[in-house]
Structure 1
Amino acid sequence: MSDLTIVYRTHQVWVKPGHRLFAYLEQACQNAKNLYNTTNFYIRQVFTSFGRNEPLQPLQQQVMNTLKTQLEA
Structure 2
Amino acid sequence: MTKENPSNYKTLQIWIKKGHRMYSYFQECCHNAKNMYNTTNFYIRQVYTGLTQEKELQPLQ
Give the TM-score band, short-chain normalised.
Answer: 0.7 to 0.9
Unaligned runs of 5+ in 1: 64-73
Code of the aligned partner of 1:30? H
Percent identity between matched residues is: 48
Return closer, same or farther for 1:11/1:4 CA change in 2, 3 Å cut-off: closer
Residue deviations 1:9-53, cap 9 Å, x none? 111100000000000000000000000000000000000111422
Return closer, same or farther for 1:49/1:22 CA change in 2, 3 Å cut-off: same
Between the aligned partners of 1:62 and 1:10, the Cα distance in structure 2 is 34
Aligned length: 58
Unaligned runs of 5+ in 2: none
TM-score in terms of structure 2 length: 0.79
Q: Does 1:45 align with 2:46?
A: yes
Higher RCO structure, 1 or 2 (CA under 8 Å, sep 6+): 1
